Amino acid sequence: MSISSSLNAGVAGLSANATRLATISDNIANSGTYGYKRASTDFENFVITQARGAGTYSAGGVRAATTRLVDEQGALVATNHALDLAIAGRGMLPVTSAVTLSSFSGGSQPMMMTTTGAFRPDADGILRTESGLVLLGWPANSDGSIPVLPRDTIAGLQPVVINANQTAGDPTTVVNMGVNLPATATEAGAAGNTMPLSVEYFGNLGTSNTLDITFTPTVPATGSSNTWTMEIRDSAQAGAVIGQYTLTFDDTRPNGGTLASVTTVSGGAYDPVAGTLALTVAGGPLTMTIGKLGDPNGLTQLSDSFAPTSITKDGSPVGNLTTVEVDEHGYVIATYDTGFTRRIYQIPLVDVPNPNGLITLNNQAFQVSPDSGSFFLWDAGDGPTGPVVGYAREGSATDVAAELTNLIQTQRAYSSNAKVIQTVDEMLQETTNIKR
């Protein structure tokens, strides 16, 4: 009977609008929740098939279908902490639950993901949010490089650990030396005095050592030789000679004062293409740049003064950790009070073909489902993913004004369905009264 189907349709309408009201209330309640993804309710009608021309119609009613719009991004909100992280675009941060952390072994636990988080070290130095989401990443090698790991599994991912009390040193591997030698010292009648120079470098254990370098001019009987003997000693090897070279300088008009030739007497060879000496100090190989042949930026012989013009090197002494930041590529960079920086982790970004198909969990976290498709771990900023943004959180995707408008519409629709039920009740009462 059509009047009975109207009653069922009204009840279905009440239920569907109550579901829509639930999503609206959830959205408004989380309008200030960082990383919240808006829920949406769509209505789908039921059709009860009737024969054509039968002259009757039965109402099928309506049902509600809810969807979590994970692909909608909230606005980024600036903060004052380096480990407040968000994604400027597509992609999510890999996380796991702190409750299951003790049994996490790089693949034995389901991976979770979130779009933003305020990560702080706990008592063990593990980066986690107050809600218990632990940040995962790939540990870097000692030289800062990231090992090659599979991108379609979480094998290799580990909780990011920051030890605030850790110290680190950076050994010196490169020294760039610019020194001017006096041209008058290689002329006939010169005193032939040796000219010393000391260059500090840092060993593998952060100790301060020196390269003691002497320049001895070759004084000819007549004219000018433009030739020097350079000797390099290593203080870490009790002053042992690690290199001796004969330097000859050009005195022609186009290249006057630049190196004309470098002859290796002992020690590491001179590379004329790069302008470097391959030295071996106590801690291992060290490259010293003295300049290419004809290069005015390395060793020179001009005028009558002996002066270092530019001496630079890498490395630093042992320093204490001061700050930890995450750059746009997802690299976790530790900075020490000596100015030394080290890459300690890389945070990959998780992406799936259908973000709206992810399983929604507490604390703005998600998990892969058959509807979302398989995940892939991208370097931040590569492929479809956006860069990682530090000092920022992703705001809620809720538009309060739009939700309040939907609330008014839902209230009216609910009242209308209630009116349909009331009308059907009155009509059924009239039908009952026919017998009287």
- Which burial class, exposed, middle or buried, applies to 115 when counting CB atoms under 10 A from its CB (0-12, 13-18, 19+)? buried
Q: Are residues 177 and 247 in the same domain?
A: yes
* Mean pLDDT of all residues in 188-210: 92
For the stretch 113-126, pLDDT in tens is 999 999 999 988 99
Q: Are residues 178 and 276 in the same domain?
A: yes
Specify the pLDDT at position 136: 95
The verdict on residue 60 lying in a domain is yes
The verdict on residue 332 lying in a domain is no
Inform me whether the pLDDT recorded for 434 exceeds 90: no
Inform me whether the pLDDT recorded for 351 exceeds 70: yes
Whole-number percent of the chain with pLDDT over 70: 96
Domain count, the chain: 3
Inform me whether the pLDDT recorded for 108 exceeds 60: no
Q: Are residues 17 and 119 in the same domain?
A: no
The verdict on residue 334 lying in a domain is no
Query: For all residues of the chain together, what is the average pLDDT?
Result: 90
Inform me whether the pLDDT recorded for 1 exceeds 60: no
**Pairing outcome for strands 174-181 and 284-289:** parallel
Neighbouring residues of 13: CB distance < 8 A, sequence distance ≥ 6: 61, 62, 413, 414, 416, 417, 420
For the stretch 355-388, pLDDT in tens is 999 999 999 999 999 999 999 999 999 999 999 9
Nearest to 114 by CA among 363, 381, 406, 357: 363
Specify the pLDDT at position 54: 65
Q: Are residues 192 and 139 in the same domain?
A: no
The verdict on residue 328 lying in a domain is no
- Most confident stretch, 49-63, 106-120, 252-266, 312-326: 252-266
Where does a domain end: 314, 333, 355? 314
What's the CA gap between 248 and 255, in Å, rounded? 12
Inform me whether the pLDDT recorded for 104 exceeds 60: no
Specify the pLDDT at position 105: 56
Q: Are residues 81 and 31 in the same domain?
A: no
For the chain, the farthest-separated pair of C-alpha atoms sits apart, in whole angstroms, at: 145
Inform me whether the pLDDT recorded for 31 exceeds 90: yes
Q: Are residues 182 and 61 in the same domain?
A: no
What's the CA gap between 2 and 55, in Å, rounded? 11
pTM of the model: 0.76
Whether 226 contacts 186, CB under 8 Å: yes
Neighbouring residues of 260: CB distance < 8 A, sequence distance ≥ 6: 226, 248, 249, 250, 293, 294
Q: Are residues 158 and 237 in the same domain?
A: no
What's the CA gap between 63 and 41, in Å, rounded? 10
* Mean pLDDT of all residues in 294-314: 92
With cut-offs at 50, 70 and 90, classify the pLDDT of residue 53. low
Q: Are residues 106 and 28 in the same domain?
A: no
What's the CA gap between 183 and 185, in Å, rounded? 5
Q: Are residues 155 and 196 in the same domain?
A: no
Specify the pLDDT at position 293: 94
* Mean pLDDT of all residues in 137-165: 89
- List the CATH number of the domain containing 217: 2.60.98
* Mean pLDDT of all residues in 285-303: 94
Inform me whether the pLDDT recorded for 102 exceeds 70: no
Q: Are residues 16 and 100 in the same domain?
A: no
**Pairing outcome for strands 341-346 and 133-139:** antiparallel
The verdict on residue 320 lying in a domain is no
* Mean pLDDT of all residues in 195-224: 93
With cut-offs at 50, 70 and 90, classify the pLDDT of residue 422. confident
* Mean pLDDT of all residues in 411-430: 87
Helix (H) or strand (E) holding 28: helix 2-29
Specify the pLDDT at position 140: 92
* Mean pLDDT of all residues in 305-310: 92
What is the residue range of 287's domain? 172-314
Q: Are residues 370 and 279 in the same domain?
A: no
Higher local confidence (pLDDT), 204 or 329? 329
Q: Lowest-pLDDT range, 3-17, 79-93, 254-268?
A: 3-17
Whether 377 contacts 349, CB under 8 Å: yes
Specify the pLDDT at position 168: 76
Whether 393 contacts 76, CB under 8 Å: yes
The verdict on residue 340 lying in a domain is no
Q: Are residues 18 and 105 in the same domain?
A: no
Q: In angstroms, what CA-CA distances link 141 with 144, 183, 347? A: 5, 48, 14
Inform me whether the pLDDT recorded for 275 exceeds 80: yes
For residue 436 the two structure tokens come to 């009287």
The verdict on residue 48 lying in a domain is yes
What's the CA gap between 63 and 47, in Å, rounded? 11
The verdict on residue 409 lying in a domain is yes
Q: Is the dihedral of CA 131, 136, 139, 144 positive or negative?
A: negative
Residue type, 373: G
256 CB neighbour count, 10 Å cutoff? 15
